[in-house]
Structure 1
Amino acid sequence: MKLQHYLGGLEGLPEPLNLEKRVFVEDWEKRIFGIHVAMMGLSNHLGSALPEYPIADVPTAFRDEWTWASLRTGAEGMNPFDYFKFRYYEKWLGGITQFFIDNGYVTEDEIAARAGEPWSAEGGDTAIDDQVIDYLRRGDSPRRDTAHPKFAVGDAVRIADVPAGDHTRLPGYLRDRIGTVTRIFEGDYGYFVHTGDGIGDPMPIYIVEFTPGELWGVRAEPGANTLYAELFEAYLQPAEEIQ
């Protein structure tokens, strides 16, 4: 386990996880979701995404890249004790706040001075609103080409145990396990940012099947249980390859 997410198979947790069923627990969480969506809709990576947006012409002061990877990196970069203490959108708040501080949009002192003040909406530029709404309607696709896979359906693959970075899409419990390719997605897909563990540039994505015995060993529960994971090609190796 390299980062404090994907807890499958992790032993020693003090108690069962309490999964919150409500989408938003408090009203402010809706606002955080909206801020994230606006940042996604104004991210400068949209100029090269599909479809290509005229993002350089949008009159916004936000000129950075913000994707789901950015949000996840912020959450995973939290102190592990805080990560497990805070709720879902509290993690979002921490990651987004740190991003704005790190990139010079606001200072910690400015945030502290505004804490507790009532919030009110201010008039904005309609061109900015139009861009965000257009993004909500059309989204952006990470697909860049038809798939060029190294592996075929039916191949046995070993999952790499890559060095930890600031962010990963590889579940900790799959590292160094052997599975079978059951599907190859139709295109090569990028991740918009380079995570440091092999993903970022466009590459094939596979669905890999794992047996409970392979993942959990003698602790596997009996029955016809099978786990499927969607994995970037960078995380796959030939099963016979020795690490």
Structure 2
Amino acid sequence: MDGIADMGGTQGWGPVHPPKRDEPVFAEDWQRKAFALAILSIRAANGGINTDAFRHALERLDRAHYIDDGYFGRLLNAGELMLTERAVLAPGAIEARARNLRGEHVPEPPVTEPVRPHYAPTAEGSLRSLETAPAFGVGQRVRARDVSVPGHTRLPGYVRGHTGVVEIIQPAHVLPDTNAHFLGENPQYVYSVWFDSYELWGAGAEPFTVTVDMYESYLEATA
């Protein structure tokens, strides 16, 4: 879906401040705990680790929960969204618990029986084997499909409808578009596709190239 997370190629987000060389992974102790809780929420909500489902939760957050709360804040917000949708947490439970910790006396809403999907990956990780040959070859010109996907996708908005060249054919991976919704792994070859900046942003762009990893169903052959 075209949510707040699809920021690539867009303008108006301000300067990028790269981390310092010796900057710690977790600047504050709460960030360490937030990261751990986010990972645990994936397992609690799905009955197993499904990173694609978590990414879909991230892209459904609004601007405040995705940007204003920062990196570790958005992880917690996505985890809460997943747990609430699966009825592991009742709506409003986190807010009620926080108010009680501040000394207020707020009844916490009861939870119902959790509703978890039947999730059983066919193998560890995301790499899979296919007996069929790749649809595209190295050096072939391809076009990113110009589609608006209602659910999860890893097809960046800024490359849709634009033409590039296949540089590398990578092994088959689980397709995030279906895996995020527990509709099957649907493994596909992944292609590293080279795009010219002028193709993506017009004649006024600076001269450079962009390489994007794209699943086979994201691409179509050009004439």
Q: Quickly say closer, same or farther: Cα 1:101–1:188, change in 2 above 3 A.
A: same
Kindly provide the CA deviation profile for residues 153-206 of structure 1, in whole angstroms up to 9, marking residues without a partner as x.
Answer: 111000012222232211111111100001101x3211366158x995101001
Is the contact made by 2:34 and 2:75 (CA closer than 8 Å) also made in structure 1?
Answer: yes
Is the contact made by 2:45 and 2:83 (CA closer than 8 Å) also made in structure 1?
Answer: no
Q: Quickly say closer, same or farther: Cα 1:84–1:33, change in 2 above 3 A.
A: closer
Kindly provide the CA deviation profile for residues 13-69 of structure 1, in whole angstroms up to 9, marking residues without a partner as x.
Answer: 1633556665334322211222333455xx4xxxxxxxxxxxxxxxxx766244221
Confirm whether residue 64 of structure 1 aligns to residue 47 of structure 2: yes
Is the contact made by 1:39 and 1:66 (CA closer than 8 Å) also made in structure 2?
Answer: no
Residue in 2 that maps onto 1:51 = none
For 1:219, what is the secondary structure of its paired residue? coil
Q: Distance in 2 between matches of 1:32 and 1:82?
A: 14
Confirm whether residue 178 of structure 1 aligns to residue 163 of structure 2: yes
Q: Distance in 2 between matches of 1:162 and 1:15?
A: 28
For 2:200, what is the secondary structure of its paired residue? helix
Equivalent position to 1:188, from 165, 172, 175: 172
Residue in 2 that maps onto 1:112 = 95
For 2:175, what is the secondary structure of its paired residue? coil
Alignment of 1:53-92 (within 5 A): 64-92=47-75
Is the contact made by 1:3 and 1:164 (CA closer than 8 Å) also made in structure 2?
Answer: no
Equivalent position to 2:136, from 151, 158, 174: 151
Residue in 2 that maps onto 1:206 = 191
Alignment of 1:14-25 (within 5 A): 15-17=14-16, 23-25=25-27
Residue in 1 that maps onto 2:118 = none
Residue in 2 that maps onto 1:134 = none
Q: Distance in 2 between matches of 1:107 and 1:177?
A: 44
Confirm whether residue 8 of structure 1 aligns to residue 23 of structure 2: no
Structure 2: state its 5+ residue gaps.
Answer: 103-122
Kindly provide the CA deviation profile for residues 203-225 of structure 1, in whole angstroms up to 9, marking residues without a partner as x.
Answer: 10010011111112112214xx2
Confirm whether residue 233 of structure 1 aligns to residue 220 of structure 2: no
Is the contact made by 2:65 and 2:77 (CA closer than 8 Å) also made in structure 1?
Answer: no
Is the contact made by 2:45 and 2:82 (CA closer than 8 Å) also made in structure 1?
Answer: no
Q: Distance in 1 between matches of 2:155 and 2:124?
A: 22
Q: Quickly say closer, same or farther: Cα 1:193–1:212, change in 2 above 3 A.
A: closer
How many pairs were matched up?
196
| TM-score normalised by length of structure 1 | 0.69
Residue in 2 that maps onto 1:97 = 80
Q: Which amino acid aligns with 1:220?
A: A
**Residue 230 of structure 1: how far off its partner (Å):** 0.7
Is the contact made by 2:65 and 2:73 (CA closer than 8 Å) also made in structure 1?
Answer: no
Percent of matched pairs sharing the same residue: 29
| TM-score normalised by length of structure 2 | 0.74
Kindly provide the CA deviation profile for residues 42-99 of structure 1, in whole angstroms up to 9, marking residues without a partner as x.
Answer: x4xxxxxxxxxxxxxxxxx766244221221111101234423221111111110111
Q: Distance in 2 between matches of 1:110 and 1:14?
A: 33
Q: Which amino acid aligns with 2:135?
A: K
